[in-house]
Chains A and B, each alone.
Chain A
Amino acid sequence: MLGYIVKRLISLAISLFVASVVIFVVVEIAPGDPASFMLGINAQPDTVAALRTELGLDQSKLDRYLSWVGGMLTGDFGTSYTYRTPVVQMIADRMWVSLPLALYALTLSTLIAFPAGIFAAARRGGPGDLAVTGATQLGVAIPNFWFAMMLVLIFAINLRWFSAGGFPGWDKGFWGGMKALTLPAIALALPQAAILTRVMRSSLLDILGEDFMRTARAKGLTERQALWRHGLRNALIPVLTIIGLQFAFLLAGAIIIEQVFFLPGLGRLIFQAITQRDLIVVESVVMLLVFAVIVVNFLVDLAYAAVDPRLRTRT
């Protein structure tokens, strides 16, 4: 088991290194001068030169890479050109919205998908299965921004249970913050829950056909007992994979939902940074997202090993 963890940690470190090089190359070394790109085509040459010095573009490429990576390791992500504030502060502010939102949505989607998938698989081909499968079709097909607007229309405008958008901040109290995130989390969770339900259902159905399920029945387990005791854990591997992918997506891919609900999240930050050509922010946020994805994958790998003993011995 320890060997497995060490091995996964090594691959995590290598992935991070490769990702940082790729991001650096794409943003800083790709054709065109970052400084003149950031300032636009009408910029004065001396302004460009000043920015070049400020960004350290007159140094060698290796020095720039090392100081960028070194800065990130020590918590210094540089200063946003547009806002003139430390990038690390901007990201931290947004993270306090995006991370809870992603976790909230993921929890909701898992809470919906597990029971729904198990319910459908246990009633394969029956009316319950058809209803669940039909609902997941719908869940995948409905665009989440439309669904978000419907939620606003019903729960904010008509029923007035929630506010239509904005985020009061966590300093106004935990429940206030959660309340503001509820509609966005539901809007985000719906399509994810639909996908996860389908994965859960088909994964369980595969397992239900396995020989060891028959063995379990021969021991005297009822169908339901066999499903819970032997089916579920075996069916988890593909489900964990999807959950990992979904978390990474929810963290940064919430941009449309953030727009609908006026949430100051990471998605909006990167969108604004791109439109304002603030490369320093873009670079840092992308690296951070890559970091999050890789760490989540690492956690998923550990979860695999916890679920399946065969993976612990294989290296």
Chain B
Amino acid sequence: MTLLRIENLSLAIHGTPILHGISLKIAEGEITALTGESGSGKSMTAFTTMGLLPKGTSTSGTITFDGTELLTVPEPKMCDLRGREIGMVFQEPMTALNPVQTIGAQVMETILIHKAMPPDQAEERAREVLVRVGLPPERFPLTRYPHELSGGQRQRVVIAMAIALRPRLLIADEPTTALDVTTQAQILDLLKRLVKEDGMALMMITHDLAVVSDMADTLNVMRHGEIVESGPTAQVLREMRHPYTRQLFEASRHQADLGKAKAEAPLLSVQNVSRDYPLPRKTPFGPRPMFRAVNTVSFEIKRGERVGLVGESGCGKSTLTRAILGLEPTQGGQITLAGDPVWRDGHPNLKVRRKMQVVFQDPYGSFNPRHRVARLITEPFHLLPDPPKGTDRDTAIAEALIAVGLKPEDANRHIHAFSGGQRQRIAIARALIIKPDLIVFDEAVSALDVRVRAQILDLMADLSRAYGLTYLFISHDLSVVRSITDRVMVMRAGEIVEDRPTADIFHAPNHPYTRELMDAAPQLPDFPEAQDAPHPAL
């Protein structure tokens, strides 16, 4: 039975059209996915359904939920529906919970605000719901605060709040995007189970086609505020009638053309490196306990090699990266680049620093918005003993911008004039400009949409082939690592558990943990049409 019917829904915010004539249906016990790139309007569709739009919006069309017209229902009635009949789960579990209230109070609030049952029963129900989402009260008492839980556990609390009153429709907006693959798999399983057990309808919003293909009964592909293709998931992915669907699919499984690595002489050498962090004291005057984030790690990267470093959050990959870049001292072991130590006599070794550059994840936060591109990308010049000046400087800027596919004129613009993908190109230009030997990419494409991500991966591959660059590519995303590396290191709890060529490791993982990661990662189905796309090597 159709529970939610959206017909010809259009939305404008302060006169700017956001959605154009969206129509879709969701039946009880069914998972319907909305997919598309950022700005396609999928979250806005969800917020319109929830009646949680920002001020200054105007809507037309109809959203009918079990006979109730949601766009015109008065606000008090809508408040009554939210939480009771329609629940919602959000993308960012780290910030979706109130930090000053216990998880028990927050789950109970859903029940109490609707006066569904008296407080003592509500507490009992909160306990039951937390058990259902995998947080048994013996280990996770109701008195816990959100900051005492991990991201995945917090997402379970958010889900518990959303399902406490057994809503008939659950809207999940990118519920696993901020989570590790193994946690993602658990949360997706949980959502599937809830749909099956309660006959709940699930509107699942995700940019990840692999997640969709695994979960959804029905798929709606959105672009620029429109649904360009919809139908049963398997059929949509098999037929891909709209070219945009095909583009998304191909970009999702994009394989960059790396060429053959000219790996000969070792460049980066990490020998028995350990890194400790002090933890808070247990007693006011007790000794400071230490946490070993990186535990006697050793590896080598040869010149021209593209190496991936994967692992879940907290495994120590970022700590290791900071040590390699010489940003923090190590508590043991030695890191050298072309034979020179990155840390010498208690100071970072500048001679080595100028041979390494890093590209970060967030293309929006990693630039000073007040500087022009020319100044932004020449920042690494301060590492040089004799930085180029005058026309030499201009030439260097132009070369770097051309190398990443931008124009020399872009040097005079401010960063806000560029899209996310262009910003990441600028970040790469900033890394290239002092002609480093090693570039570290720290989740450098994780924030990008699939099609832009494919372009950036191609750019990285081109640059590596053209300049013989060496890459250390850190990511939690296995499919990205697979497409851009020759070799993969898998890190877990401060140790590298597997270190083998990319093709081998993806073909036949050795370590149980690597297998666990691979199994947890959602897979795109292999459809015959899609295999026509270039798919070399692996």
Give me the interface of A with B, judged by CB distance under 8 Å.
3, 6-7, 10, 210-212, 214-222, 225, 229-230, 233-234, 307-310, 313-315
B52 & A230 in contact (Cβ 8 Å cutoff): no
B161 & A215 in contact (Cβ 8 Å cutoff): yes
B88 contacts the other chain (CB 8 A): yes
Q: Main secondary structure on chain A at its contact with chain B?
A: helix
Q: How far is the CA of A56 from the CA of B470 in the complex (A)?
A: 76
B284 & A3 in contact (Cβ 8 Å cutoff): yes
B372 contacts the other chain (CB 8 A): no
- Specify which of B75, B76, B97, B280 is in contact with A212 (CB 8 Å cutoff): B97
Q: In the complex, which residues of chain B have a beta carbon less than 8 angstroms from the beta carbon of A216? A: 98, 109
A212 & B96 in contact (Cβ 8 Å cutoff): yes
29 pairs, CB–CB < 8 Å, chain A vs chain B? A210-B95, A211-B92, A211-B95, A212-B96, A214-B96, A215-B88, A215-B97, A215-B98, A216-B98, A219-B109, A219-B113, A219-B161, A219-B162, A220-B79, A220-B80, A220-B81, A220-B84, A220-B110, A220-B113, A221-B79, A221-B83, A221-B113, A222-B76, A229-B109, A234-B100, A309-B99, A309-B100, A315-B281, A315-B284
Interface string of B131-153 (1 = CB under 8 A from A): 00000000000000101100000
Q: In the complex, which residues of chain A have a beta carbon less than 8 angstroms from the beta carbon of B99? A: 212, 234, 308-310
A-B pairs, 6 with minimum CB distance: A220-B83, A211-B95, A219-B83, A218-B88, A220-B82, A309-B145
Q: In the complex, which residues of chain B have a beta carbon less than 8 angstroms from the beta carbon of A210? A: 95
Q: How far is the CA of A141 from the CA of B92 in the complex (A)?
A: 42
A219 & B82 in contact (Cβ 8 Å cutoff): yes
Knowing that A222-B79, A309-B147 are A-B contacts, what are 19 other residue pairs whose CB atoms are under 8 Å apart, sorted by A's residue number? A3-B283, A7-B284, A211-B96, A212-B97, A215-B96, A217-B52, A218-B88, A218-B162, A219-B82, A219-B161, A220-B80, A220-B84, A220-B113, A221-B113, A225-B113, A233-B100, A309-B100, A314-B280, A315-B281
- Name the CB-closest residue of A to B107: A219
Q: In the complex, which residues of chain A have a beta carbon less than 8 angstroms from the beta carbon of B114? A: 220
The distance from the CB of A27 to the nearest CB of chain B, in whole angstroms, is 34
Q: In the complex, which residues of chain A have a beta carbon less than 8 angstroms from the beta carbon of B88? A: 215, 218
The distance from the CB of B349 to the nearest CB of chain A, in whole angstroms, is 34
A214 & B52 in contact (Cβ 8 Å cutoff): yes
B284 & A310 in contact (Cβ 8 Å cutoff): no
Indicate the member of A215, A221, A307 with the most B CB atoms within 10 Å: A215
The distance from the CB of A233 to the nearest CB of chain B, in whole angstroms, is 5
The distance from the CB of A314 to the nearest CB of chain B, in whole angstroms, is 6
- Name the CB-closest residue of A to B92: A211
Q: How far is the CA of A234 from the CA of B97 in the complex (A)?
A: 12
Q: In the complex, which residues of chain B have a beta carbon less than 8 angstroms from the beta carbon of A314? A: 280
B284 & A218 in contact (Cβ 8 Å cutoff): no
- Specify which of A218, A230, A308, A313 is in contact with B82 (CB 8 Å cutoff): A218
The distance from the CB of A286 to the nearest CB of chain B, in whole angstroms, is 31
Q: How far is the CA of A221 from the CA of B87 in the complex (A)?
A: 12
Q: In the complex, which residues of chain A have a beta carbon less than 8 angstroms from the beta carbon of B161? A: 215, 219
A307 & B100 in contact (Cβ 8 Å cutoff): yes
Q: How far is the CA of A10 from the CA of B281 in the complex (A)?
A: 15
How many chain B residues have a CB neighbour from A under 8 Å? Answer: 35
The distance from the CB of A36 to the nearest CB of chain B, in whole angstroms, is 48
B50 contacts the other chain (CB 8 A): yes
- Name the CB-closest residue of A to B93: A211
Assuming the contacts A214-B90, A218-B83, A220-B83, asked whether A315 and B98 have C-beta atoms less than 8 A apart, the reply is: no
Q: In the complex, which residues of chain B have a beta carbon less than 8 angstroms from the beta carbon of A218? A: 50, 52, 82-83, 87-88, 90, 162
Q: How far is the CA of A307 from the CA of B280 in the complex (A)?
A: 21
Q: In the complex, which residues of chain A have a beta carbon less than 8 angstroms from the beta carbon of B87? A: 218
The distance from the CB of B89 to the nearest CB of chain A, in whole angstroms, is 9
Q: In the complex, which residues of chain B have a beta carbon less than 8 angstroms from the beta carbon of A315? A: 280-281, 284
Q: How far is the CA of A235 from the CA of B123 in the complex (A)?
A: 27
Which chain B residues numbered 145 to 182 have a C-beta less than 8 Å away from chain A?
145, 147-148, 158, 161-162
Q: In the complex, which residues of chain A have a beta carbon less than 8 angstroms from the beta carbon of B79? A: 220-222
Q: In the complex, which residues of chain B have a beta carbon less than 8 angstroms from the beta carbon of A230? A: 98, 101
- Name the CB-closest residue of B to A231: B98
The distance from the CB of A129 to the nearest CB of chain B, in whole angstroms, is 13
Q: How far is the CA of A5 from the CA of B88 in the complex (A)?
A: 39
- Name the CB-closest residue of B to A229: B109
Interface string of B103-130 (1 = CB under 8 A from A): 0000001100110000000000000000
Q: How far is the CA of A230 from the CA of B283 in the complex (A)?
A: 32
Q: How far is the CA of A7 from the CA of B280 in the complex (A)?
A: 12
Q: In the complex, which residues of chain B have a beta carbon less than 8 angstroms from the beta carbon of A234? A: 98-100
Q: In the complex, which residues of chain A have a beta carbon less than 8 angstroms from the beta carbon of B90? A: 211, 214-215, 218
- Name the CB-closest residue of A to B171: A218
The distance from the CB of A208 to the nearest CB of chain B, in whole angstroms, is 12
The distance from the CB of A181 to the nearest CB of chain B, in whole angstroms, is 36
Q: In the complex, which residues of chain A have a beta carbon less than 8 angstroms from the beta carbon of B283? A: 3
The distance from the CB of A11 to the nearest CB of chain B, in whole angstroms, is 11
Q: How far is the CA of A308 from the CA of B109 in the complex (A)?
A: 19
- Specify which of A220, A221, A225, A313 is in contact with B280 (CB 8 Å cutoff): A313
Q: How far is the CA of A210 from the CA of B110 in the complex (A)?
A: 18
The distance from the CB of B185 to the nearest CB of chain A, in whole angstroms, is 24
Q: In the complex, which residues of chain B have a beta carbon less than 8 angstroms from the beta carbon of A221? A: 79, 83, 109, 113
Which chain B residues numbered 228 to 272 have a C-beta less than 8 Å away from chain A?
none
The distance from the CB of A222 to the nearest CB of chain B, in whole angstroms, is 5
Q: How far is the CA of A11 from the CA of B104 in the complex (A)?
A: 35
B82 & A215 in contact (Cβ 8 Å cutoff): no
B82 & A212 in contact (Cβ 8 Å cutoff): no
Q: In the complex, which residues of chain A have a beta carbon less than 8 angstroms from the beta carbon of B52? A: 214, 217-218
The distance from the CB of B165 to the nearest CB of chain A, in whole angstroms, is 9
- Name the CB-closest residue of A to B87: A218
The distance from the CB of A20 to the nearest CB of chain B, in whole angstroms, is 24
Q: In the complex, which residues of chain B have a beta carbon less than 8 angstroms from the beta carbon of A3? A: 281, 283-284
Q: How far is the CA of A314 from the CA of B147 in the complex (A)?
A: 11
Q: How far is the CA of A307 from the CA of B101 in the complex (A)?
A: 10
Q: In the complex, which residues of chain A have a beta carbon less than 8 angstroms from the beta carbon of B98? A: 212, 215-216, 230, 234
Q: In the complex, which residues of chain B have a beta carbon less than 8 angstroms from the beta carbon of A214? A: 52, 90, 96
B100 & A308 in contact (Cβ 8 Å cutoff): yes
The distance from the CB of A124 to the nearest CB of chain B, in whole angstroms, is 9
Q: How far is the CA of A212 from the CA of B95 in the complex (A)?
A: 6
- Name the CB-closest residue of B to A6: B284
Q: In the complex, which residues of chain B have a beta carbon less than 8 angstroms from the beta carbon of A307? A: 100
Q: How far is the CA of A216 from the CA of B280 in the complex (A)?
A: 32
Q: In the complex, which residues of chain B have a beta carbon less than 8 angstroms from the beta carbon of A212? A: 95-99
The distance from the CB of A154 to the nearest CB of chain B, in whole angstroms, is 41
Q: In the complex, which residues of chain B have a beta carbon less than 8 angstroms from the beta carbon of A211? A: 90, 92, 95-96
- Name the CB-closest residue of A to B286: A3
Which chain B residues numbered 35 to 67 have a C-beta less than 8 Å away from chain A?
50, 52
Which chain B residues numbered 444 to 485 have a C-beta less than 8 Å away from chain A?
none
Q: How far is the CA of A308 from the CA of B101 in the complex (A)?
A: 9
- Name the CB-closest residue of B to A232: B100
B109 & A310 in contact (Cβ 8 Å cutoff): no
